[in-house]
Amino acid sequence: MDSAKTDLLKEVADYYAEKLAEHGRTPQGVDWNGEQGQILRFQQLSQLIQGHGGAFSVNDLGCGYGAFFDFLQSEYPEFSYLGVDVSKDMVTSAQSRLGPATQARFITAAEPDTTADYCVASGIFNVRLGRGDAEWFDYVRDTLDVMDRTSRRGFSFNCLTSYSDEDKKRDYLYYADPCRLFDLCKRRYSRQVALLHDYGLYEFTILVRKSS
């Protein structure tokens, strides 16, 4: 990994470590407003999995304290889960919170160490801090390449939307163009791509399904 990306990931890890220290294992601790919005995001991301018969495996990139594992456990009877986060504090928190859950494994890393049926990422593209649009878009694209490479059946992710009200935008956040990312995913990863922009938040979710 080059030094520029290492520095970028360290900035992100430090940011989320501060949020966790301030708010604990809560949605606010991973920089969301509350539990209701967090669950709504998980529902959109997991549309990728709906209809899968039997057991499946998931890589959760930017797993935080493992809240998506809790959501999956409430919805699906059998799955294996890998949580990946650049913040060591987040991974330690997830491990201590969930204990010896046989379905869950966590690592401190920038990408999964194994291929799964699905890969999901919630919120990891939002906080760009002082990075410019071009540099951050390159980071998003490179991360989507990782998600594509480490998933067999598909991947899903969300971003803040460029269609957000101007007076609500913040300089340190990244507001992505949903049409640009939809086009990227269609051309680069799969013909089966869905853009979800109708669930009441200032963001969108993209589902990329791979051919069986």
Domain spans, the chain: 3-209
The predicted pLDDT at position 9 comes to 83
The pair of three-digit structure tokens given for residue 204, joined into one six-digit string: 């969108």
| 178, 159 contact by CB (below 8 A) | yes
Pairing assessment for the beta strands 56-61 and 116-121 based on DSSP bridges: parallel
The predicted pLDDT at position 57 comes to 96
d(CA 122, CA 26): 15
- Amino acid found at 144: L
d(CA 32, CA 36): 10
What is the value of pTM for the model shown? 0.90
The predicted pLDDT at position 5 comes to 81
Architecture of domain 3-209: 3-Layer(aba) Sandwich (3.40)
Cα 158 vs. chain centroid, distance in angstroms? 7
Pairing assessment for the beta strands 175-176 and 151-161 based on DSSP bridges: parallel
Place of tokens 């889960």: 81
**Segment-wise mean pLDDT, segments of 10 residues, the chain, 212 residues:** 79 81 72 76 95 90 93 92 93 87 87 97 91 93 97 97 93 95 98 96 96 68
